[in-house]
Amino acid sequence: MAFEVVLSDKSKKFENKSESEHVSFCDIGEFAGIKDYIMECPDAKLTMNSKLFLKDLMKFTGMEMSFGYMEPDTVGPFSHKHKLNEEVYIVLSGNGTMTVDNKDYSLKEGSVMRIDPAGVRKLSSGNKGLTYICIQTKRNSLEGYTMTDGEIL
C-alpha cells in the first residue's frame, strides 16, 4: 500500500511558489525554520513535525528529498530500511548519530552519509539538535551525471 504524505493545514507554507513547464520553484525559508513544517500521512494516521518532504510539492520525478529538524537529544521514532532507494543525509547544522546495522556514526555540520537500501538505520540528534537534508533515489539508477548528461549550448 502506498501512503501519501501531504503538507498539514497547520504547517508553515512555502513562500513565492511558482511553476511553469520546466520549473518548480519556492522559498522554504531559513533552515532554522524547518521546525515550523508539519507533514501528515492520513492513511497511516501519522503526523511528522519538523519535516518537509518535497517530492510531490516540487513535482520531483527521479528522487525524494526532505528537510528535517530534530530537537536536542532526540531519538528517532523507529529504525527502518528501504526496498529500492538509497539515502543520502547531509547535515546542515547541529550534531547527532546515525546507527546503521548496529554501528554508530557521529554526525556534525558538513557530514554526508550514503546508506544502501538494505541498511537498517536510525537517526538521533545530539546536544545541539540536528538539521539535515535527506535525498532518496533508486539504487544504481544514475545513467548520466554532471557533463555526461549535460549539454553546453
Please report the DSSP string for 39-63 in residue order: EEEGGGTEEEETEEE-HHHHT-SS-
Work out the mean pLDDT of the chain and round it to a whole number.
92
Q: pTM score, two decimals?
A: 0.90
Residue 39 near residue 7, CB atoms below 8 Å: yes
Grid cell in block for residue 17: 511558489
* Highest mean pLDDT pick, 4-8, 31-35, 120-124: 120-124
- At residue 1, the pLDDT reads 54
CA distances for 35 relative to 14, 29, 43, 150, angstroms: 13, 11, 23, 35
Lowest mean pLDDT among 38-52, 73-87, 125-139: 38-52
- At residue 131, the pLDDT reads 96
Residue 16 near residue 44, CB atoms below 8 Å: no
